[in-house]
Amino acid sequence: MRTGSPRLLREINDRAAIDTLLRQGPLTRSHLEDVIGLSKPATAQLLARLEQEGVVVKDGVRDGGRGPRAQLWAVNGAVARVAAVDLTPHGADMVIADITGKVLARRAAGSSEVPVLAGTDVVAAFAAALAGTAEAAGVTLAELHRVVIGAPGAVDPNTGRLGSAPHLPGWSGFDLPAALGAALGVEVTVENDVNLVALHEMAEGRATELSDFVLVWLSEGAGGAVVLDRRLRRGAAGGSGEIDWLQVPDRARTDTGFDRFGARWGDLVDSPAILALADAHEISADTGWAAVGAAVKAGEAGRAFLADLARRVAAGIANVVSVLDPEAVLLCGEVSRAGGDLFLELVSHELHELVVPRTPVELAAAPGDAVRAGALQSALATVREEVFGLPAGGQ
């Protein structure tokens, strides 16, 4: 039996109903009462009250076979809208969604529309591009409750400055969230792109059951994210997981000119470095992930190149694993997907040559749009907490 003041019980039941409708989508009253454990009259009163407050709406009917068709109820998406953005050196992928997660508009803005070069007014350009996306969604910037932007680099929570982002020179040197918030008239969060992928992985991917894991991104560049006790760890200056800046020796047996005693790990495993290593192994390709894919298809002829790359990858991961001893290392990004099970096996072997923990190396389930998807999840979680009092999870 539930005890407490009527108001507190009402709030608890309201949150339970809203959370259920957000997770499961439109439901009938009878289905909702089964999930949240209320009586038929109590559930009917709850829905009537939430409808009067504009929180839920009738959303069609469901055929129930014999008898009358059952009314469906859903959270009112118009309660709040959010924007999620994947910012890269090539432009920005933007979406506008309502509080249920329904995407109202999506638009890819190129680097000519969202510039990254120093000396350009990146804030005004971004605001104009997002305003256009909002217009396509049928809303204004003023109607957005939050904007979450995923960017390569780390935002210092003390200064708001974006660091470790040499490919976004125009976005550095000032309080980025504050400047964007002032231009947009809405609260803005700028988050490391790989951190957002980790949030997505916890919500829908391979990490749904993991408490502690390290996510490693291998694509055009490299990066990482750390999750401990189901919480994303950003660090005191926002730099947790920035493993691409680690100084490590080049453990590849084929020399491509890197300092054998120490080089920036990100420079050893980014796409240009992978292409140089592939060329040394007589494998030709246009991108690092294409080279890895070609090596996998080549079978034994491509194994030496993949093993060399695995040695480089493991050298960076080993530092993190030795300190954190996570449940798993999850590899993601185009390079990891192209390498598949063979590459995972090689990285795992090399990693276990360097560290004591026998940490499994697995492939993340993150899709190609995982940064934007993670940004949307982050925005929704924050706004749902603000509006409905729902817990925001591992953010």
> What residues contact 208, with CB distance under 8 A and at least 6 apart?
202
Please tell me the number of Cα atoms within 13 Å of 111 on its side-chain side.
11
Task: Specify the pLDDT at position 68.
Answer: 65
Whether the predicted pLDDT of 315 surpasses 80: yes
Residues 299 and 190 in one domain: no
Residues 165 and 124 in one domain: yes
Whether the predicted pLDDT of 1 surpasses 50: no
How many Å apart are CA 280 and CA 55, to the nearest integer? 61
Residues 252 and 335 in one domain: yes
Report pLDDT digits (tens) over 105-162.
Answer: 999 999 999 999 999 999 999 999 999 999 999 999 999 999 999 999 999 999 999 9
Instruction: Give the domain range for residue 46.
Output: 6-75
Residues 158 and 214 in one domain: no
Whether the predicted pLDDT of 350 surpasses 90: yes
Task: Say how far residue 213 (Cα) sits from the centre of its chain.
Answer: 15
> What residues contact 85, with CB distance under 8 A and at least 6 apart?
92, 93, 94, 95, 130, 147, 148, 149, 150, 372, 375
Whether the predicted pLDDT of 360 surpasses 50: yes
pLDDT band at 4 (very low <50, low <70, confident <90, very high): low
How many Å apart are CA 187 and CA 145, to the nearest integer? 7
- Does residue 201 lie in a domain region? no
Residue 68: CATH number of its domain: 1.10.10.10
Residues 68 and 83 in one domain: no
What is the DSSP annotation of 72-85?
A: EEEE-GGG-EEEEE
Helix (H, G, I), strand (E, B) or coil at 219: coil
Count of structural domains within the chain: 3
Residues 336 and 232 in one domain: yes
Residues 145 and 261 in one domain: no
- Does residue 393 lie in a domain region? no
Residue 256: CATH number of its domain: 3.30.420.40
For the chain, how are helix, strand and coil distributed in percent, rounded to 5? 45, 20, 35
What is the DSSP annotation of 153-184?
A: SEE-TTT--EES-TT-GGG-SS-HHHHHHHHH
Residues 60 and 188 in one domain: no
Residues 311 and 354 in one domain: yes
Using the 3D structure, point to which of 59, 75, 91 is the last residue of a domain: 75
- Does residue 1 lie in a domain region? no
> What residues contact 359, with CB distance under 8 A and at least 6 apart?
321, 325, 326, 327, 328, 329, 351, 352
Q: Are 168 and 162 in contact (CB under 8 A)?
A: yes
* Average pLDDT of the segment spanning 54-79: 86
Whether the predicted pLDDT of 2 surpasses 50: no
* Average pLDDT of the segment spanning 34-40: 95
Task: Specify the pLDDT at position 65.
Answer: 54
- Does residue 54 lie in a domain region? yes
Using the 3D structure, point to which of 75, 108, 136 is the last residue of a domain: 75
Whether the predicted pLDDT of 67 surpasses 60: no
- Does residue 28 lie in a domain region? yes
How many Å apart are CA 72 and CA 31, to the nearest integer? 10
Using the 3D structure, point to which of 52, 75, 98 is the last residue of a domain: 75
Q: Which of 292, 306, 363, 316 is CA-nearest to residue 222? A: 316
How many Å apart are CA 336 and CA 363, to the nearest integer? 7
- Structure tokens given for 394: 């591992």
Residues 51 and 65 in one domain: yes
Q: Are 32 and 21 in contact (CB under 8 A)?
A: yes
Task: Specify the pLDDT at position 62.
Answer: 81
How many Å apart are CA 273 and CA 350, to the nearest integer? 19
Residues 313 and 192 in one domain: no
- Does residue 394 lie in a domain region? no
Residues 282 and 238 in one domain: yes
